[in-house]
Structure 1
Amino acid sequence: MLKMNKEELLIELNPKQKEAVESTEGPILIIAGAGSGKTGVITKKIAYLVESGIPQENILALTFTDKAAAEMLDRVNKLVGSTEDIIITTFHSFCKELIEDNILELKMNSPLKVIEDTAQLVWFIKNIDSFNLEFIKVGFKPITLVEELRKIISKFKDEFVTIEKLENYIENKSKEKLDLENYERLETLKDILKVYKHYEDYKTKNNIIDFGDMLTKIYELLKERPTILKKYQERFRYILIDEFQDTNFIQLQIVNLIAAKHQNLTVVGDDDQSVYRFRGAYLTNISDFRETYPTHKEIVLEQNYRSTKNILGVANKLISNKPDRFVKKLFTENEEGEKVTVSELINEEEQSHFILNQVQTLLKNHDYKEIAILVRRKKDAQPIIDAFDKHKMPYEFVGNSDFFREPLIKDVVSFIKIASNPIESNIEIARVLQRKQICIRPVEVTRFTRYAHKNKLSLYETFESIKEIDVDHDKFNHIKEKLNFIVSEKTVVNLPELVYKILFEIDFYRYEVSLDNKKNISLLNQFYKFTVDYYNLYRNSELEDFIDFIDYASNFEIKTETGEENNVIQVMTIHTAKGKEFPVVIVPDLVNGRLPARYRSDKFEIPKELLNGGQNEFDERELH
């Protein structure tokens, strides 16, 4: 692999991109419009720093997803060769690494156990009766309630609202004379405090941390231990932040602390792509950067490389209506392209048929996977999905979905339930017998189940009498061997090993690989990760406990992880679509109140007085 020198790194860049790459010293704000090549700028800037003689171990690049970090690392590797000493990672992974480096100072035990979002929700729903809520009504929708409770506690962590701060606020507010609305808010906060305490106690007793803890513990460590802060300030002399507009309060404070001494901080963001509610007011983090680093250099990337002139013209016109934005005018040297089509339909049914017809026409010149349909939520896509199902149109939904209701995942869980208790798993065995790849005729399944019912046997016991039933004996005996194998393995291997054997010995992976079904392969990978995450939290639990955990988890939508797309139409949420590109994009429901949505506050909100008193926790004197 050939390394690029400094001059070669700049060859294909436009003047503004070149300026962004060459500006290496001091605080630098890069406003990067959509499609302006920001990822290329960041990666070339990292390479430029290396080629300028900056030691790799002095460079830290932070982003928000593992996928983005992996892509950035791959690009930098191609530019400079080995990058073993450069830290290119997510905020959470970076803070987790710092926790592990300072485990004794933090008075924590190793190894760390990290509780993921789904496990949090399961814990909340299982313990909801023990919270002794007095004002908040559980009602008939406990699922929605626990989602909101988890969300508000996560926000507390993001805003560094500790239990102590919340207690003090409630105590002081209780002394005031309040109107009805504020009284109800205070009573709600008292209940939330109970939940917050229960949750923190549970994690402490079980040596568990969540993603928010990774940030708060490192923030407190850096604030309270100057020698440790100094060590990281000296190590990470050059810091780059991608998607800066998405940083929350505590992430920003961590970055400011580490960057304070050398101030070689480059942030790349776009105020048009996110607004963060910061310090009690709706300000972009970009505005805060300007205040914190008044001597910063600002570079605006306005040339778009992704879209046609017509699409960009519409985008510029729409975004110009956004209030309090940094005014920039994206332009492109690309072709004019086709005009953006706006179609007015009477109702959802007519809209779905219109989209179906449009897709059928588009398929004359495009592959399925080149067509994306963007919606706010999955339920908004349901009428379109129904039309696709009716006309056998291949598609997949990308975003939060009913992961445990996916047919493939139901099949995997069926085998786990059979391993746990084969005699009581009639429904699961019947499901296994009907799997497409087993090729057993429905009439044979019926004969098998009727024999079991007639002779008062479980389906598992009925395999012993298979010779007396008019079915394909070879196929049924093959299934019998598989089931006996996993039942026997349950007692000799741990949970991840058992699930691994189910996924491979039962040929789940082999079958999906033979079909090149990337979505299903991704689902199997995600289920295995889910299993490992559970086992790391609850190593001493029984298989029955894992099944119970799955039953609880199936109440919640889970973000499905996707790898490379199958050749099917991509239906996804707008949030999930960020960073992706498609030749054809269809956006339904452009109706006022739906898209854009009417403002809907969360069920629980943090009082403005708790948002760090309207002040930055970071001591700006450390900048000087």
Structure 2
Amino acid sequence: MFDYGNANKNQIKAIKTVDGPLLIIAGPGTGKTFTLVKRAIYLIVEKGIPPEQIMIATFTEKASKELITRITNELMSKGVEVNINDMYIGTFHSICLRLIKENLEFTRIRKNYRILDGFEQQYTIFQYIYKFRNIENYETIFERPIGVWNQSQIIANLVSNISEELVNYRDMQLDNDVRISSLGKLMEVYEDILTQQNLIDFSTIQTEAYRLLVTNENVLFKVMDKIKYIMVDEYQDTNYVQEQLVFLIAGDKHNICVVGDDDQGLYRFRGATIRNILQFPNKFDAQICEQIRLTINYRSEKDIIEFYNNWMKITDGRQFNFKWGKYRFQKDIVAGKNSKIDTSAVIKISGQEVEIDWHENVLEFIEKLKLSGKLTNLNQIAFLFNSVRNKKVIALADYLELHGINVYSPRSDMFFMRIEIKLIIGCLMLTFPTYVQKMEKKDYEFLTDDLYNYYEECIHMVNLYLKKSKNDELKRWIREHGEKHYNLYKNTNYAFLGLMYQIFEHSPFREYLESDLNTSLIDLRPARNLAIISQIISKYEYLHKIDVFSSKNIDKSVEKFFNMYLKFLFCGGIGEYEDDSEYAPSGCVSFLTIHQSKGMEFPIVVVGSLGGTPRIINNNILEDVERKYYKRSAFEIKEDIKYFDFWRLYYTAFSRAQNLLVLSCIEKKGRGKQPSKYFESAYRKLHSYNDPEFKMDRFEFEEVKNVNLKNTYSFTSHIAVYENCAMQYKFFKELGFIPARVGATIFGMLVHQTIEDIHRTAIRKEEKLITPDNIKLWFDTNYDSISMSERAYIGQSQLDVALKQVIRYVDRQKGNWHRIQDAEVEVGLVKPNYILQGTVDLVEGEGNTVEIVDFKAEKKPDIFSDFDKIEHYKKQLQVYSHLIEEKTGKMVSKMHIYYTGEENSVPFITFPKEKKAIEATIKAFDDVVEKIQNKDFVQKSQSQILCNNCDLRFYCKK
């Protein structure tokens, strides 16, 4: 008998309905994730569906991690072992990326491609803006004259939106409207840049996966044959290309289950369309698509549910009037738990006309909550706003912090205002006196007054710190490097990032970095922010191909870094660190955007931004492209869209609250009226927090939801790093610092990837193509993509040696290609508290046994002097062998390390497979992961060679 847990009648029906199309309309707090997890378990356990036949697409990495954790935990409790790598669970982007990786040879993308985030996409467009400006009538694309950086942003938005609608830009190029034809040419130039530079952005990850499937029948059939059951979470937030991918992969089976809530569709600005969920049943023959509504809310008090139910019904107002009609599934959410309080669970906090009155009342409300004894942690309170960058919101956060209430607001774009960031920028800047002299004279015409003032403030802060702290060591270091850079006559062995790591030898940065990782997020904020600045600098050095300073490049590089790169980041804003594993940091109230809060829940929710009004956002050129070239006509009535989006936004906000919902604003009449007319009727009826009718002592506030996410650890990237140096792991893996010195060698990557090409050819039974000419072609292609990706090169003599290693391997393998069964096999071991992952280079063999091989592009080491290193590889192979047996059902007979650099003797070391040794190895890995999860990062490396090549050597010096 299948265990449905505490599932209600409709949830059970959703879990059991596994064949054919299914639409689950899941209101807030109705157990959507619970139902998805149980449905996946039901497919595997009850219906006997192999895990690799299931695909679950989510919208955030956090959501996919939660699904993986909950599914694997329940399967383990039932004694069912799965290789989680076999299941397609992840975001749409990660699933598409996997399809691309598995079939890379059929795409325009080459190995070692680079994925651009939003900023890098815009910055890349900016770098190549001259190519776009050469397009005839280019200026007509923009509705008014704007700067180059803003042009880049608009171009990024346009190409992303249009490509995700699968528009053929060549058709646009023939349009009589010069704006549209120019935009079509612009899209071609953009695609050419991506292809030439081997880049993909977030939108092209999806469009490239779609193109792969529709242009390669064999690949499509292979994917369709593998994936038999599809589930999509948050379907109301999907766009056109995502919908097409789902139906393409599902084929005629139509085993598609989509889950979502049309009332929480918030991402129109990213190309999402509510029509996908509303019209899903119409994609199939009549009565085929099952529809199930989940309407029992287990999250919120009855008052809160009634409040947001009414919000969706009251669409007739004094000066507004719209009807939902076919643009909403009619539903009433009902409470799943009996209320135990006899006071209202929806109230208001007002300020009268002036900001300070609002601040004082909000603070008084929080203090009353604390004094009541009902509040156990400040993290039980979340403030939700349209934007946390608004001046009034920032002023409220500052006021609360001034009065001892810590505020967690990672997306308020206050990153550059943090003391540690001002200090590190000021220190870096002072080591370049030529730049500082010109900056102080205001010789840079492209720097705004805001940025001039900011840089001057950074320098002033460093000087003030040096004066107060009497830190002569840091002062001396700055002076020495300033003199060195001012009179630079030979190359340094560092650029910006290496320079920053040198600063870490000195206070106050040492103290920031010495923080215990078990402390609160507030105390860790300086270390986390310094890690973010390392990522920022690393991107700059990559994008501008800078690895050292020279007399020729130093002045130009410094000016570009401060005047252009940091300027764009400063103006655009950067969010601070957000931890997926911590739902709401202890000891802080959260300030979040409503969009950011989607999918979350808090005991007490304060909704601000009540002066908001529905606004229509026009994009004339995009609307014209939509009308002429999108695959389907517009769905919603344009005049009503602003109302639909406004109502959905605040419905989402109101439904985050578990125990107490608070509406808050500065009450004001006349111009800029608050609350606006759209909230007036609902707001007016509410009791204030200080009304006698409101009984705060009646509440029992929930604890903040505990986030239980399994982290994934790999042998080479985690276990080996920790065992080599726990301190290094803390900085580069836990805090997220980016190393300036990359350990991986181009030589090793080149040999490895060319051998992989050979294996792939053999697996396709095309051994005849493994010829010297083709090997050289694969080798050269790999070197081009690796050197472009790594922005580094090796000499001809090393290239000759690398090619010789590959050819020698091929000569030794001749006649044995038929033994190859698989290559680059990703395997995973699901444990109670983590997932261990690895990649097996080669699986070969005949009959019912296989052998596994790991390649090293070096000479075979001495088994005595390099015993520890070889023993580590042995442990890695032992676990790989166990996972391969689980994956293939075949016994592993031998394990080999193959050294391609070995010329004369036997090129491999072979190990037997022993069950007890494997168990001991897995236990050892368990111990390492436990130390990592306990934040035990005290142990430092005992290898002087490792230390000499580590960026932290300056920090560790003391």
TM-score (norm. length: structure 2): 0.53
User: Quick one: which of 579, 589, 598 aligns to 2:615?
Assistant: 598
Superposed displacement of residue 196, structure 1: 3.1
2:31 maps to which of 37, 56, 61 = 37
Instruction: Note if 1:578 corresponds to 2:604.
Output: no
Deviations for 1:90-143, whole angstroms, at most 9, x for unmatched residues?
A: 111111121122221114221111111011222344555664343336646655
Q: Distance in 1 between matches of 2:435 and 2:495?
A: 22
1:238 to 224, 229, 240: 229
Number of the residue aligned with 2:513: 509
- Structure 2 match to 1:360: 367
Equivalent-residue separation in structure 2 for 1:144 and 1:361 (angstroms)? 46
Match of residue 98 from structure 1: 99
Counterpart code for 2:570? S
Given the alignment of the two structures, is residue 108 of structure 1 paired with residue 109 of structure 2, yes or no? yes
- The whole-number CA distance in structure 1 between the counterparts of 2:273 and 2:168 is 22
1:151 paired with 2:142, answer no
Residue 78 of structure 1 corresponds to: 73
Whether contact under 8 Å (2:108, 2:195) holds in the other structure is no
Match of 1:452 in 2: none
Moved more, 231-240 or 155-164: 155-164
1:369 aligns with 2:379: yes
Give 1:213 shift. 0.8
Q: Which has the larger radius of gyration?
A: 2
Aligned to 1:333: 336
1:309–1:331 CA contact under 8 A, matched in 2:
yes
Question: Residues of 2 paired with 1:356 and 1:307: CA distance?
Answer: 24
Confirm or deny: 8 A CA contact 1:374 1:586 kept in the other structure.
yes
2:294 equivalent in structure 1 = 301
Shift in CA distance, 388/551, structure 1 to aligned 2, threshold 3 Å: same
Cα distance, 1:162 vs. partner? 3.5
Counterpart Cα distance in 2 of 1:267 and 1:501: 52
Mapped to 2, the partners of 1:483 and 1:85 lie a distance apart of: 56
SS in 1 for 2:335: coil
| Aligned-partner Cα distance in 2 for 1:281–1:55 | 32
Range moving further from structure 2, 360-369 or 55-64: 360-369
Match of 2:318 in 1: none
Q: Is the 8 A contact 2:262 2:274 kept in 1?
A: no
* Counterparts of residues 417-432 of structure 1 (less than 5 Å): 417=429, 421=432, 424=435, 431=458
Instruction: Pick one of 611, 630, 647 that aligns with 1:611.
Output: 630
Unaligned ranges ≥5, structure 2: 77-81, 316-323, 441-454, 486-490, 550-556, 636-958
Q: Deviation of residue 513 (structure 1)?
A: 4.1
Note the 1:404-419 alignment, pairs <5 A: 404-414=416-426, 416-417=428-429
Q: Give the match for residue 263 of structure 2.
A: 272
Q: Which residue of 1 aligns with 2:5?
A: 11
| Residue 396 (1) aligns with residue 441 (2) | no
In structure 2, relative to structure 1, the CA distance for the partners of 1:599 and 1:320 (3 Å cut) is same
Q: Deviations over 1:27-74 (max 9, x none)?
A: 111111111111111122212222132111111111111111111111
Matches within 5 A, 1:513-524: 513=517, 516=520, 517-524=523-530
Deviation digits for residues 405-432 of structure 1 (CA, Å, limit 9, x no counterpart) = 444334444455567x477568989958
Would the aligned equivalents of 2:57 and 2:91 in 1 still touch at CA under 8 Å?
A: yes
Could you report, residue by residue, the CA deviation over 1:467-518 in whole angstroms, capped at 9, with x for unpaired residues?
xxxx84xx32256459979999x94468777666766985343247486335
Q: Is the 8 A contact 1:60 1:88 kept in 2?
A: yes
Q: SS at the partner of 1:614?
A: coil
SS of equivalent residue, structure 1 residue 285: helix
Residue 568 in 1 paired to residue 569 in 2? no
Identity %: 25
Distance in 2, matches of 1:311 and 1:556, equals 36
Residues 282 and 110 of structure 1: CA distance in aligned 2, closer, same or farther (over 3 Å): closer
CA distance in 1, matches of 2:481, 2:74: 50
Tell which deviates more after alignment, 330-339 or 246-255.
330-339
1:316 counterpart = 2:304: no
Q: Is the 8 A contact 2:236 2:274 kept in 1?
A: no
Quote the Cα distance in structure 2 between the aligned partners of 1:536 and 1:67. Answer: 28
Give the Cα separation in 2 of the matches to 1:55 and 1:533: 41
Distance 1:188 1:402 in 2: 38
Matched, 1:120 2:121: yes
Aligned AA for 1:97?
A: R
Secondary structure in structure 2 of the residue aligned to 1:111: coil
CA shift for structure 1 position 80: 1.0
- Cα deviations across residues 494-552 of structure 1 (Å, max 9, x unaligned)? 87776667669853432474863354454344444445555665556667365553333
Larger deviation, residues 34-43 vs 259-268: 259-268
Name the residue aligned to 1:61.
56
Give the counterpart letter for 1:585 in structure 2.
V
| Match of residue 473 from structure 2 | 477
Preserved CA contact (<8 Å) 2:126 2:149: yes
Q: CA distance change for structure 1 residues 110 and 18 in 2, over 3 Å: closer, same or farther?
A: same
Letter in 1 for 2:385: V
Q: Is the 8 A contact 2:495 2:548 kept in 1?
A: no
Q: Which residue of 2 aligns with 1:134?
A: 139
2:214 maps to which residue?
223
Compare 255-264 and 562-571 and name the one that shifted more: 562-571
Q: Secondary structure at the match of 1:11?
A: coil
Contact 2:64 2:91 in 1 (8 A): yes
Contact 2:238 2:273 in 1 (8 A): no
Whether the 8 Å CA contact 2:172–2:183 is kept in 1: the answer is no
- Cα deviation per residue 1:350-386 (whole Å; 9 max; x = unaligned)? 4444333323323334332221111111215234235
Alpha-carbon offset, residue 189 of structure 1:
3.6
SS of equivalent residue, structure 1 residue 261 = helix
* Pick aligned residue for 1:382 from 381, 391, 394: 394
Preserved contact between residue 122 and residue 553 of structure 1 (Cα < 8 Å): no
Task: Give the secondary-structure state (helix, strand or coil) at the position aligned to 1:239.
Answer: strand
Counterpart residue type for residue 573 of structure 1: T
Structure 1 SS opposite 2:160: helix
* 1:256-298 deviations in Å (ceiling 9; x for gaps): 10011322211111111006769x9975211231111341111
Give yes or no for contact 2:400–2:406 (8 Å, CA) kept in 1: yes
Pairing partner for 1:552 from 568, 572, 589: 568
The structure-2 alpha-carbon separation of the partners of 1:315 and 1:139, relative to structure 1 and needing over 3 Å to count, comes to: same
Q: 2:23 touches 2:259 (CA, 8 Å); kept in 1?
A: yes
Inter-partner Cα distance in structure 2 for 1:87 and 1:237: 11
- How far apart are the structure 2 equivalents of 1:32 and 1:139? 45
> How far apart are the structure 2 equivalents of 1:320 and 1:521?
48
Could you tell which deviates more after superposition, 239-248 or 383-392? 383-392
Mark the CA change 1:525 to 1:203 in structure 2 (over 3 Å): closer, same or farther. Answer: same
Q: Which amino acid aligns with 2:232?
A: I
State which drifts further: 135-144 or 478-487: 478-487
Deviates more, 1:364-373 or 1:18-27: 364-373
The aligned counterpart of 1:467 is: none
Instruction: Give the 3 Å change call, closer, same or farther, for CA 281–244 of structure 1 in structure 2.
Output: closer
- Whichever residue aligns with residue 305 of structure 2, its letter is L
Matched, 1:24 2:18: yes
Q: Deviations over 1:322-353 (max 9, x none)?
A: 61210111111324343311356543624444
Aligned counterparts of 2:496 and 2:221: Cα–Cα separation in 1: 43
Task: Using the TM superposition, name which of 349-358 and 34-43 deviates more.
Answer: 349-358
Three-state SS of the structure 1 residue aligned to 2:409 is strand
Residue 578 of structure 1 deviates from its aligned partner by 0.9
CA spacing shift, 1:395–1:20, aligned 2, 3 Å: same
2:600 partner amino acid: K
